[in-house]
Structure 1
Amino acid sequence: MVCRNSREFLAGTSGPTSRARRREIGRADSIGGGCENAGVVHIVEVDDVDDPRVDDFRDLSRADRRPDRPGGRGLVIAEGVVVVERLLASPYPVRALFGVRRRVEELAEAAAALDVPAYVTDADVMARVVGFHLNRGVLAVADRAPVVEPAELIARSRRLVVLEGIGDHENLGALFRNAAALSVDGVLLGAGCSDPLYRRSVRVSMGHVLRVPFAHLGAWPEDLKLLRDNGFRIAALTPRADAKSLREAALDSGPVAVLLGSEGPGLTDEAIVAADLAVRIPMASGVDSLNVATAGAIAFHAMSGT
């Protein structure tokens, strides 16, 4: 048999030929003739745009039909080889892959422990199913993982980010990517935040939203008390002139949570009052603010103490 990256690719998942082929592979493995740690990826050829087996990937450009929309089926969608690899390595239960053969085969090793279908088609059929041409050539879809409770996330963390009013999916994804890069332990989502598992957030985060744990705070800003009860100091990032300079705030000392607000209005007065201190990033004259993901990255670096 032929193994690609310690993985056996089978053309088709039904019918006597594929069943016989699987028995042949099983006999080869049982007598030591198979590849070490080989598994089975169920390749399914799809040439019909209306094939119901790829419905999880259908009409992703339509806000009223997409499966990851709020109030929809609650699925998680990853696109591109790198992001799909991170989904495959995450706690989110993968349902299927869908893409052109070359991209699907690049994921052979990463998918080695899974027993899910990989629907293979050409770029034209894929574009008609998805609703747009996907340059990255492959998608994966998963169910959501169990929700983490805020108290559980806080108890096992020392550096946290708390977000208020981050409604832009690209900013949210970029914040998660920065949090992963700078060793933040988790993200707490306060009032007005978008769903971090929306497809655009997952893509912009380069899949890191799937590995940085997050939890939702129910009462806002009252639930910030959970942080203080666990020994956290809460630093509200704001451009106010009377805020303490980032260099003076010593964010690398003890358990710290940095509080970030939306791109336009920033944090509400209620959130700043609920924090232990207000912190600003000193900037050149004539510049009053930074993109929230950029400001977050600077604060996360200060939290790391490096």
Structure 2
Amino acid sequence: MAEVHHVDDPADPRLADYRDLRDVQLRRHLETENGLFLAEGEKVVRRAVEAGFAPRSFLMAPKWLDGLADILETTDAPCFVMEERVAEQVTGFHVHRGALASLRRTPLPTLDAVLEGARSVLVLEDIVDHTNVGAIFRSGAALGFDAVLLAPRCADPLYRRSIKVGMGAVFTTPWTRLDDWYDALPALSARGFTTVALTLADDATAIEDAVAEVEKVALVLGGEGHGLSARWERSADRRAIIPMREGIDSLNVAAATAVACYVTARR
């Protein structure tokens, strides 16, 4: 069972995992160097632990002890309990959801392991906004997609903001990063997937038509603003568009993913 420590000093060195959560660059360095990630909120903390991620520690307000008591019984990681005003001094913001956990990252699976048995996958190229990545994971999980593949420069799905927006979907959705960006889509085609790029290209067809009667599909989505690279647009098997009313050319990438997933799930 977790050992509970009541803390009133925000400078306590045992709280290093939780410092400066608003500093994205600092957090990237700290979390990568130490092989950790943070989960925020009772539901997300619970989902992370239940998915098999090993806790390093917990930080929470006193009122959350009872709600997470069953989770705390499963580990010997320390639990630091403090008033919300003290926690705010540690993290740099008001932890209104009351509970945080620092958990150990696990090695990413191979591409073949992630794709085993999959029929519908999402492929993300250079989507750098953590909120969008989290929302995409949530949409994919909700609409029955089997896996998510990320190009090397995509934002980290295990960053706190991504996890929070995705409500922990990253814990249950198989995912990995693509080692070979240049030939990533041909490699998926060789594995039997029809790659469908969401794009405004002149030869793009309506998403309903592009995914109709496709057995194994990989929806390919590009970065905010600039969209897909020319290489990925050209190497996709098909190019698709979500038809818009006149004067509107596109949706935010997270919203477009939700629409495309909904249509594809009913192909």
What range is the shorter-chain TM-score in?
over 0.9
Q: Distance in 2 between matches of 1:69 and 1:169?
A: 17
User: Which of the numbers 154, 162, 165 marks the counterpart of 2:115?
Assistant: 154
Q: Distance in 1 between matches of 2:106 and 2:32?
A: 16
Hey, what does 1:7 align to over in structure 2? none
Hey, what does 2:21 align to over in structure 1? 60
8 Å contact 2:129–2:155 — kept in the other structure? Answer: yes
One-letter identity of the residue aligned with 1:118: C
User: Which of the numbers 234, 246, 259 marks the counterpart of 1:273?
Assistant: 234
Q: Distance in 1 between matches of 2:28 and 2:221?
A: 29
Hey, what does 2:182 align to over in structure 1? 221
- 3-state SS of paired residue (1:183): coil
Identity of aligned residues (%): 39
Q: Distance in 1 between matches of 2:214 and 2:25?
A: 46
8 Å contact 2:57–2:102 — kept in the other structure? Answer: yes
1 or 2 for the larger relative contact order (CA 8 Å, sep ≥6)? 2
Hey, what does 1:173 align to over in structure 2? 134
Hey, what does 1:18 align to over in structure 2? none
Unaligned 5+ residue runs, structure 1? 1-39
- RMSD of aligned alpha carbons: 1.9
Hey, what does 1:90 align to over in structure 2? 51
Hey, what does 1:134 align to over in structure 2? 95
Comparing 222-231 with 131-140, which one deviates more in the overlay? 222-231
The residue correspondences of 1:91-130 to structure 2 (distance < 5 A) are 91-130=52-91
8 Å contact 2:150–2:178 — kept in the other structure? Answer: yes
8 Å contact 1:60–1:67 — kept in the other structure? Answer: no
2:194 is the alignment partner of 1:233: yes
8 Å contact 2:211–2:217 — kept in the other structure? Answer: no
2:2 is the alignment partner of 1:41: yes
Unaligned 5+ residue runs, structure 2? none
8 Å contact 1:46–1:120 — kept in the other structure? Answer: yes
- 3-state SS of paired residue (1:114): coil
Alpha-carbon distance change, 59 to 174 in structure 1, aligned in 2, over 3 angstroms: same
Q: Deviations over 1:235-279 (max 9, x none)?
A: 011123421111212356311100000120111121011111001
Q: Distance in 2 between matches of 1:189 and 1:69?
A: 21
Hey, what does 1:195 align to over in structure 2? 156
Comparing 224-233 with 105-114, which one deviates more in the overlay? 105-114
Query: TM-score under structure 1 normalisation?
Result: 0.82
The residue correspondences of 1:9-28 to structure 2 (distance < 5 A) are none
Q: Deviations over 1:130-149 (max 9, x none)?
A: 12221111100101012111
Who wins on radius of gyration, i.e. which is larger?
1
- 3-state SS of paired residue (1:66): helix
Hey, what does 2:217 align to over in structure 1? 256
Alpha-carbon distance change, 42 to 191 in structure 1, aligned in 2, over 3 angstroms: closer
Alpha-carbon distance change, 249 to 65 in structure 1, aligned in 2, over 3 angstroms: closer
Q: Distance in 2 between matches of 1:209 and 1:266?
A: 23
8 Å contact 2:196–2:211 — kept in the other structure? Answer: no
Structure with the higher helix share, 1 or 2: 2
- 3-state SS of paired residue (2:167): coil
Q: Distance in 1 between matches of 2:67 and 2:161?
A: 23
Hey, what does 2:144 align to over in structure 1? 183
Comparing 44-53 with 166-175, which one deviates more in the overlay? 44-53
